[in-house]
Structure 1
Amino acid sequence: MKKLTAVLMVTAMLSSALSGCAGAGRQTEVTVAAAKEGKDLSAMVWQGTVEALSSVDIIPAASGKVTQIMAKEGDHVEAGAALFQIDNQDASLQLEQAKAGYQAAQASFNSAQKANQQNTVVKPAQISFTTASDNFNRIKVLYASGDVSQTDYEAAKAQMDVAQVQLQAAQNNQTTTCEVTKAQLESAKAALDIAQKRYDDCVVVSPIKGLVTKISVEAGQTVSPQIKAATVIDDRGKKVEIKVADIDIDQIKAGTEVNVNLQTLGESLKGSISDISAVSDSQTGMFDVTVSLEEESTNSAIGLMADIRIADNKEGNSVYIPAKSVQSDDSGTYVYKVSDNSAVKASVTLGKKKNAYIEVTNGLTTGDLVILQSSKPLTDGEKISILTVKQQDKTEKGEI
C-alpha cells in the first residue's frame, strides 16, 4: 500500500509537471529522479561461525614413546603447562655426558686463563732472553775495545737471538692455548644446550594460555615430529569471520559496532569490526571481515553460527536518491526538488552511501522528485521543464 501511494504521488507530480511545460519554451530543462525506498545497510545480516582468537596445533619436537598424559580435553592450562611426557632416558644420558664435557672444557679454559695471568709459560723464556740480552750487551762493549774475540761476540749474539725466538714462541703458545680452550668451551656449551633442549622436548607443553580441545595421543603410543598430538585454543576472546560484498564494504570500518546474535543459545552479544581485508577475493568479489566479540557468552559459543548486524539498526526502509543530485554550499547540503513546476532548494541530511545512491535521513520523502541535471545552473524557485525521469531499477529490485 505504501509503495502504491508513492507511485500515485510520483504520477500525479509528473502529470502536473509535464502539463506545465507545454508553454514554457524558455524554461530550464532538467532530468529528474524520484526518491525511492531501499533496504538500509544496517538491516543487512551476515553469518559466520564463532571462533577462538587463535588455535594452536601442537606437534612434539621429540620422538619416542609417551609415558604419561598430564592434561585432558577441556582443561584450561597456562602457557608452558605440561601436556604429556615422552620417554627421556636416552636424552637424560646424553645430557649428563654433555654436562661432563662442558665441565672439562671449563676446567681447561680456566687453567689456560690462570697461566696467561701468571705468565707461567712466558716468564722462564722472558728471564732467559733478558739474561742473554744483558750478556750480549756486555760482550759487545768488550768486543769494541778489543778485549774479546769476534767468536765470543758472535756466540753471545746467537744466544740472544735464540732466546728471543723462544720468548716469542712462548708468547704465541700461551695466546693460542687460551684461544683454543675458549673455542672448546664454546663448543661444549653448544653441545650442552642441544642436549638440554632434547631433554626438555621430551615434555610437550602448551605454547599459549587457553583451553585444551584435543589430546590425540595415549600412553604407550610412539610419537614423532610428524604427528599432531594436541590442540589448544585461546578462548579469552572470540571472533567471527564474515564475508562482505564489495558494494557494501565502504560502509563499514574498523571499530564499527555490531550486534551478534547466537540463535542456538538465544543470546545477543556486542562486537566490533576489528579487521577488514585490503583486497577482495578475485573470484567472489567478497571482502574478509573479522568481528571481535566484546562480551563473554554464558557458554563457550565456539563453533556456533552467529548473525552479525550493524549496531545502529533501523526498522523499515530508508529513502535513497542518486548521489550526484546532492550539492553543498556555505548553508549546508541540499538538493533541488520539483514543486509546482519549479526547482525548490531543499536542505537534506545524509546517511550512508551505497553504490551510486545515498541515504537521506531528513528533508525528503519517498516519491519526491530531485533534479539530477539541468541545462543551466539553477536558482531557488525558478520554473523548469522536465525532459527525462531517470528510473532507479536497482531500487525497485531492493539492491540499494
Structure 2
Amino acid sequence: MKKITAVLMVTAMLSSALAGCAGAGKQTEVTVAAAKEGKDLSAMVWQGTVEALSSVDIIPVASGKVTQILAKEGDHVEAGAPLFQIDNQDASLQLEQAKASFQSAQASYDSAQKANQLNSVVKPAQITFTTASNNFNRIKVLYESGDVSQADYEAAKAQVDVAQVQLQAAQNSQTTTTEVTKAQLESARATLNIAQKRYDDCMVSSPIKGLVTKINVEAGQTVSPQIKAATVIDDSGKKVEIKVADMDIDQVKAGTEVQVNLQTLGENLKGSISDISAVSDSSTGMFLVTVTLGEESTNSAIGLMADIRLSDNKEEKSVYIPAKSVQTDDTGSYVYKAADTSAVKVPVTLGKKKNAYIEVTQGLSTGDLVILQSSKPLTDGEKISILTVK
C-alpha cells in the first residue's frame, strides 16, 4: 500500500512538472524595441555636391576665325559682356548692303504714301470722269428735247464709260503701288534684321551675369556651332541637389530650413529647400530635391561634398518607435507593448516619419517597449517571452 501511495505521489509531481513545462511552451517569443526621443535618433542626412545656381555652356552661332579674346577665366562679367570676337568682315559687308536696300525700299514706300495722300494718280482720272459725266448729263437733256442726235448722245455716254474705267484703273493702281512698296519694305526690313543678327553673332557674349570658368578657344582658331567655346556660371548663390527616397519625401517641403555641413572646409551653413521634383525617377524611385544655400561660404565651396540635414526644433520632445511595429484595424493604429510578461494592445496617435521611425504623439512614453516581431500573431494580454531588445 505504501508503494502504491509513493508511485501516485511521484506521478502527481511529474504531471505537475510537465504541466509547468507545457505552460512555459505557450509563451509567445517576441523581439521588442524601446520608444526613443527624437534627439536619440540619427537625423535624416543626404549628401550632394555644391553647385552654382546655374551653369551655361556658350556655343557660338557664327562660324569663322577668332580674331580677339576679350575675357579670361576667373573674370566676373555682366550679362551681355563680350567674351571673344569672330571675324566679321563678310557679315559687315552684307549688313551694309542690307541697309542700302532697306533705305531704297523705304524711299519707294514713302513716295507711294505721299502720292496716295496727294491723290496724284487718281485725281486726273477723277477730273476726266467728272467732266465726261457733266457733259453727258447736258447732252442727255438736249437729246430728250430732240435738240441733239442719237449719235451725239451715244458718244457722250461712251466718254463717261471710258472715263469711269480709267478712274477705276487709277484707283487700283494707286492701291497696288502702296501695297507693293509696303511688302518690299517689309522684305528689306527682314533682310536687314538677318544681316544685323549675323553681324552681331560674330561677337560672342555672356548670356548671364557670373564667373567665367572656361575659355576653350584661342585667337586664330576657327570656331563653329559644334564647339563649346566657354562656360559661365551664376555664382551669386549656391545649391545642392539631393535624391530623396519615396518613403521620406513626405517629410520634405518647399521652404523647409536645412543644415548644410561642408566637412572639407569645416563650415556649417544654412539653407532651404527650393524645389522638389513632381515625379520620381522611374529607374530609382528617388525624388530630386534642390537645396539653396542661404549663406555665402567664406571659401569657394563649389564642387565640394555637402551633408544636408533637416532642421527640426521639435525633436527633443517627440517619441519615436520603429514604423514596422505599428498595426491598424477598424479602430485605428495600435501597437503591442511589452508589460512584464504580457503583450498589451495600446492605441496610438501617429505623427511624422523619420527614416524607419515614426512619431507617436499619444499612447506611449519614452522607454516603453513595443513589440517588433513575434513568433505568432498576438492577442491582447497574451503571455510573451522577450528574446531581443533593439
Asked whether the two chains share a fold, i.e. TM above 0.5, the reply is yes
* 1:104-132 CA distance string (max 9 Å, x none): 11111111111111110111111111111
- 1:202 equivalent in structure 2: 202
- 1:95 equivalent in structure 2: 95
Structure 2: distance between partners of 1:48 and 1:371: 33
In structure 2, do the counterparts of structure 1 residues 111 and 147 end up closer, same or farther at CA, with 3 Å as the change threshold?
Answer: same
Counterparts of 1:13-52 in structure 2 under 5 Å? 34-36=32-34, 43-52=43-52
SS in 1 for 2:381: strand
SS in 2 for 1:352: strand
- 2:321 equivalent in structure 1: 320
Quote how far apart the aligned CAs of 1:368 are. 2.8
Quote how far apart the aligned CAs of 1:369 are. 4.5
Contact 2:116 2:178 in 1 (8 A): yes
* 1:353-395 CA distance string (max 9 Å, x none): 25885234784233535799997xxxxxxxx62166899x9x9
In structure 2, do the counterparts of structure 1 residues 96 and 149 end up closer, same or farther at CA, with 3 Å as the change threshold?
Answer: same
Quote how far apart the aligned CAs of 1:267 are. 1.1
- 1:8 equivalent in structure 2: none
* 1:46-66 CA distance string (max 9 Å, x none): 211111111100011111111
SS in 2 for 1:172: helix
Residue 81 of structure 2 is aligned to residue 81 of structure 1: yes
Contact 2:342 2:384 in 1 (8 A): no
- The higher radius of gyration belongs to 2
The one-letter amino acid of 1:220's match is G
Contact 2:319 2:366 in 1 (8 A): no
Contact 1:273 1:291 in 2 (8 A): yes
Instruction: Figure out how many residues of one structure are paired with residues of the other and give that number.
Output: 355
Contact 1:257 1:270 in 2 (8 A): yes
Contact 1:42 1:309 in 2 (8 A): no
- 1:69 equivalent in structure 2: 69
Residue 177 of structure 2 is aligned to residue 177 of structure 1: yes
Structure 1: distance between partners of 2:266 and 2:354: 32
- 1:249 equivalent in structure 2: 249
Contact 1:259 1:309 in 2 (8 A): yes
Residue 363 of structure 2 is aligned to residue 365 of structure 1: no
Quote how far apart the aligned CAs of 1:244 are. 2.0
- 1:386 equivalent in structure 2: 382
Structure 1: distance between partners of 2:311 and 2:298: 21
- 1:381 equivalent in structure 2: none
The one-letter amino acid of 1:112's match is A
Quote how far apart the aligned CAs of 1:31 are. 12
Structure 1: distance between partners of 2:58 and 2:372: 64
SS in 2 for 1:74: coil
Counterparts of 1:120-131 in structure 2 under 5 Å? 120-131=120-131
The one-letter amino acid of 1:222's match is T
In structure 2, do the counterparts of structure 1 residues 233 and 217 end up closer, same or farther at CA, with 3 Å as the change threshold?
Answer: same
Residue 298 of structure 2 is aligned to residue 302 of structure 1: no
Contact 2:33 2:372 in 1 (8 A): no
In structure 2, do the counterparts of structure 1 residues 121 and 184 end up closer, same or farther at CA, with 3 Å as the change threshold?
Answer: same
* 1:18-73 CA distance string (max 9 Å, x none): x9xx8xxxxxxx99984436797752432111111111000111111111111111
- 1:113 equivalent in structure 2: 113
Quote how far apart the aligned CAs of 1:155 are. 0.8
The one-letter amino acid of 1:306's match is A
The one-letter amino acid of 2:365's match is L
The one-letter amino acid of 2:321's match is Y
TM-score (ref. length: structure 2): 0.80
SS in 2 for 1:43: coil
* 1:193-242 CA distance string (max 9 Å, x none): 11111111111110011111000111111111111110001111111111
Quote how far apart the aligned CAs of 1:341 are. 7.9
In structure 2, do the counterparts of structure 1 residues 355 and 309 end up closer, same or farther at CA, with 3 Å as the change threshold?
Answer: closer
SS in 2 for 1:72: coil
Unaligned runs of 5+ in 2: 1-19
SS in 1 for 2:353: strand
Contact 1:319 1:366 in 2 (8 A): no
Counterparts of 1:208-287 in structure 2 under 5 Å? 208-287=208-287
SS in 2 for 1:61: coil
Structure 1: distance between partners of 2:95 and 2:385: 87
